[in-house]
Structure 1
Amino acid sequence: MMMMAAAGNESPNRNSEDKTSSRRQNEVNKKLKYTSLAILVIQNASLILSIRYVRTLPGDHFYTTSAVVMAEVLKVITCLFIILIQKRGNVKSFVSLLYDSIVIQYWDTLKLAVPSLIYTLQNNLQYVAISNLPAATFQVTYQLKILTTALFSVLMLRKSLSRIQWISLVLLFAGVAIVQVEQESGKQKEAVTAANQNYFKGLLSVIISCLSSGFAGVYFEKILKGSSASVWMRNIQLGIFGTVLGLLGMWWNDGAAIAEKGFLFGYTPMVWGVIFNQAFGGLLVAVVVKYADNILKGFATSFSIIVSTITSVYLFGFHVDLVFTLGAGLVIGAVYMYSLPKANTSTSSTSTASSSKAGESELDAFLPNLKAPGKKKGN
């Protein structure tokens, strides 16, 4: 009887402790979610603004081709370090995995040459575009990558889009078109021309960059789905090709100048900040998205456009009028609409759950200390 009474007393206490623990965990998750949102906004806005800033400063400029190579090298080193952590510092196992994944499975590695070439081209084009376009105009126009990615997903992966996503893509295109028409006929083009920048060159660069981003992203996703290799290993394979192709591009475009002035010519602390942001930005986003859902990610992209526009007014004298506000508003709304979840179906929910679990398993191996307390790792 006494044992039964004791058990009865323990049960309410245990329930109370579970509720308290659950409440605390929800509060922690909520804080992590909005911290992730803030990081995404800062990363999205700061990369564009900082590239624009360092490329428009007076004096000697760094070679963008060398910056692209340096970002690839840093990305590879980071992913190698992550895999070494996953192997708990076991160098033999680490080297064996690299040899097997890169050398033995060489045909699998060679598949990454195509997206790597496109990503290298895209990274160089981004520098060209931002050097010739106002930061806010670039960021609004660059959202066309959502449209190109969606179209390539439908064509290459046979994905289906919801009605609201198709509507958002139309709004996105309309918003970008309004911004470009306004820029083409407004004061911004005159300001760009006066600063010895080529507006048409910048616009062409960002359009090609959006096309390449859409194709490379979908191609990379297709390769990931057909392989058991980790995201980090895939990034190493991409980085190896990216470094080699970047070096070839650097030699072709700036070889003589770099041979004379040096690889790190024009590098300042601000330039290093841009390179680190570009190298680690994608990996950082992959980590923080673990705590932020897709809607918040879309909201972060939208909010970063607003931050970029406001900052551009103060830093670069950017002129915001009613037409630009209308176009940017359509783009911001479209980005948010596109990120809204589809209507629940058995197929989409299963796909979402499995992709979510796959992403979490990747990140859990990298960040075991960020798991919820008391959560046991599944077999």
Structure 2
Amino acid sequence: MCALFASRDKRKRSTDSCSETHNEYVIRNVSLFLLLTFLTTLTDVLINQSRKGNVNLEENYDAAVMVFLVEFSKLVLNFVLLCGCQNSFTKAVQILKYEVFERPSETFKCSVPAFIYVIQNNLSYLALAYLDPGTFEITLQIKLLTTALLMRILLDKRLNAYQWLSLCILLFGVCIVESNELGWFKIEDNSRNNLRRSIKTEDANTGTVKSWNFMCGLVATIAMTFMSALAGVYFEKLLKDEKGPNDLNDQSPNVTHKPPSVHGVSMLWVKNIQMFLFSVPIALISWLFKNNQNIAQKNFLHGFDALAWSVVASGCVLGLTTSLTLKYLNNIYKNFASSFSIVLASLSTMLVAGKEYGPMFFIGGCLVFGSLWTYHRSGRPFSNQSKAHKENTSSKTRTSPPISAV
């Protein structure tokens, strides 16, 4: 894997034709997108099956322990990949020593997504306390639009009208799929009235409708969509920042020696490690707070079977693939893959468990898949066409000398 993505930097300095380089970009990025979609679907299905395997909820594993193990496995895997890219354990340690301790400002930049995810998790608990799961899942899909908005602000990623239209189609299609999954299109009149009364209950004393709790849950969910988009876009900005340890403008006062050379995909593993150095302790502290009274009574790995460990493995590889997607594609394609996984996971449930879906589900699925085609046709798909990339390409074109005949 290191050789596959590291070769991208070598090809920048090669004399291959532009068409060959573009084709390699397309093959790599399409492969990343398909792999991300598959892993997201697989992880969702494994989590669903691992939690349903035990009828007794007390026999299930602790979700906080699962989060900790996934984050810790990501940390270990990224360190192994960094050692593989450098072909040396000592060089990898030297790189991390420099990046983490001698450039603390860069390290703390990677802590921002970790803390944002903590706020996002707390908002999810607040939202689910006041909203029913269906309303929560539907409202959460607003992140498809908030992500594009924050990409415009932080990354100067401009979308044309057709691309915005494709995102709206995607949002509408996912909402239809989620609604059909929850059975909203099959609710009878009496059941619908009961659902409304569960969201808005009447006060027995005053006879007025208590909508305050519903509004609090709705605001928390919308804030959660912005937090989710902000964490993803901010981390994408860090991953696409080509500033390395050998930059001339790096005048850190803590530097006591010449830093080791690290560029390209190795810097991706370094950024991941810097973030996981914060996310792993946060996950462990979350577990301690959640089980502060039952730590001595309950085994840390209680409920972990082969299926649960497969969730850890799948989640670890999914996190790695997500980082590669953010570096070589962007958050919008990550959202497309996530939306595709919702449809594919539902189809797998239909094939395996024999669950029946109405025609609205297939209409929503067609809208989800069709939105990618709209986005594909309205821009330059699966190619790294950032503003900096275009400027570098144009500057090389202007400064390159004419080819003389030999």
Give me the TM-score of the superposition, normalised by structure 2: 0.62
AA in 1 matched with 2:73: L
> Structure 2: how far apart are the matches of 1:40 and 1:313?
22
- Deviation by residue 1:61-110 (Cα, 9 ceiling, x = unmatched): 1111111111111111111111112221251x322211110011112211
**2:237 corresponds to which letter in structure 1?**
K
Deviation at 1:325, TM superposition (A): 2.7
Higher normalized helix content (fraction of residues): 1
Q: 1:42 to 1:179 in 2, by over 3 A?
A: closer
**1:25-55 alpha-carbon deviations (Å, 9 max, x no partner):** xx99999888767644431211111111212
Q: Write the mapping of 1:74-113 to structure 2, written as runs, cut at 5 A.
A: 74-91=73-90, 93-113=91-111
Q: What is the one-letter code of the residue matched to 2:97?
A: Y
Alignment of 1:217 onto 2:235: no
Matches for 1:1-379 after TM superposition, within 5 Å: 39-57=35-53, 58-59=55-56, 60-91=59-90, 93-119=91-117, 144-179=142-177, 183=182, 185-187=184-186, 210-226=225-241, 228-229=243-244, 230-284=267-321, 304-315=341-352, 318-340=355-377, 342=379, 348=385, 351=388
Separation in 2, partners of 1:279, 1:187: 37
- For residue 99 of structure 1, give the secondary structure of its aligned residue in structure 2: helix
**Number of matched pairs:** 317
Structure 1 range deviating more: 228-237 or 217-226: 217-226
Taking the aligned partners of 2:186 and 2:32, their CA distance within structure 1 comes to 37
Match of residue 24 from structure 1: none
The structure-2 alpha-carbon separation of the partners of 1:77 and 1:333, relative to structure 1 and needing over 3 Å to count, comes to same
RMSD after superposition: 4.7
Counterpart residue identity of residue 292, structure 2 = G
The whole-number CA distance in structure 1 between the counterparts of 2:161 and 2:24 is 35
Query: Contact between 2:174 and 2:364, CA under 8 Å: does it hold in 1?
Result: yes
CA distance in 2, matches of 1:98, 1:254: 33
Segment of structure 1 superposing worse, 240-249 or 36-45: 36-45
The offset of 1:212, in angstroms, is 3.0
TM-fit CA distance, 1:156? 2.5
CA distance in 2, matches of 1:289, 1:161: 17
Letter of the structure 2 residue corresponding to residue 55 of structure 1: R
- Per-residue CA distance 1:269-290 (angstroms, 9 max, x = gap): 1111111111111324566999
What residue identity is the alignment partner of 1:275?
Answer: V
354 and 237 in structure 1: CA distance in 2 versus 1, 3 angstrom threshold: farther
User: For residues 152 and 349 of structure 1, do their structure 2 counterparts lie closer, same or farther at Cα, with a shift above 3 Å needed?
Assistant: closer
Matching residue's letter, 2:51 = R
In structure 1, stretches of 5+ residues that fail to align are 1-26, 357-379
* Shift in alpha-carbon separation, 1:105–1:167, aligned structure 2, 3 A: same
Deviation of 1:251 after TM superposition, in Å, equals: 1.3
Structure 2 unpaired stretches of 5+:
1-22, 200-213, 245-266, 394-406
Residue 256 of structure 1 aligns with an amino acid whose one-letter code is Q
Conserved 8 A contact 1:179-1:324: yes
Pick closer, same or farther for the CA change 1:108–1:287 going to 2, 3 Å. Answer: closer
> What code does the residue aligned with 1:212 have?
M
Q: Distance in 2 between matches of 1:29 and 1:258?
A: 49
* Distance verdict in 2 for CA 1:275–1:247, change over 3 Å: same
In 2, distance between residues paired with 1:210 and 1:38? 24
Contact 2:177–2:343 (Cα < 8 Å) also in 1: no
CA 1:103/1:154 → structure 2, altered by over 3 Å: closer, same or farther? same
> Structure 1 residues 269 and 352, CA, compared in 2 at 3 Å: closer, same or farther?
farther
Distance in 1 (CA, whole Å) between partners of 2:319 and 2:139 is 20
Query: Matched residues in 2 for 1:270 and 1:354: separation?
Result: 48
Distance 1:320 1:142, change over 3 A: farther
CA distance in 2, matches of 1:352, 1:106: 28
**3-state SS, counterpart of residue 255 of structure 1:** coil
Residues in 2 aligned to 1:296 and 1:157: alpha-carbon distance in whole angstroms: 15
- SS class of match (1:260): coil
Cα 1:52/1:29, change in 2 over 3 Å: same
> 1:36, 1:288 within 8 Å by CA — same for their partners in 2?
yes
Structure of greater relative contact order (alpha carbons < 8 Å, 6+ residues apart): 2
Matched position secondary structure for 1:261: coil
Amino acid at match of 2:165: I
- Farther off after superposition, 176-185 or 37-46: 176-185
Q: 1:220 to 1:323 in 2, by over 3 A?
A: same
SS in 2 for 1:320: coil
C-alpha displacement of 1:158: 2.8
Q: Distance in 1 between matches of 2:350 and 2:133?
A: 14
Percent identity between matched residues is 28
- Whether the aligned pair in 2 keeps the contact of 1:79 and 1:232 (CA below 8 Å) is yes
Change beyond 3 A, Cα 1:29–1:104: closer
Going from structure 1 to structure 2, the CA distance change for 1:349 and 1:75 (only over 3 Å counts) comes to: closer
Normalised by the size of structure 1, how large is the TM-score? Answer: 0.66
Instruction: In structure 2, give the amino acid aligned to 1:330.
Output: L
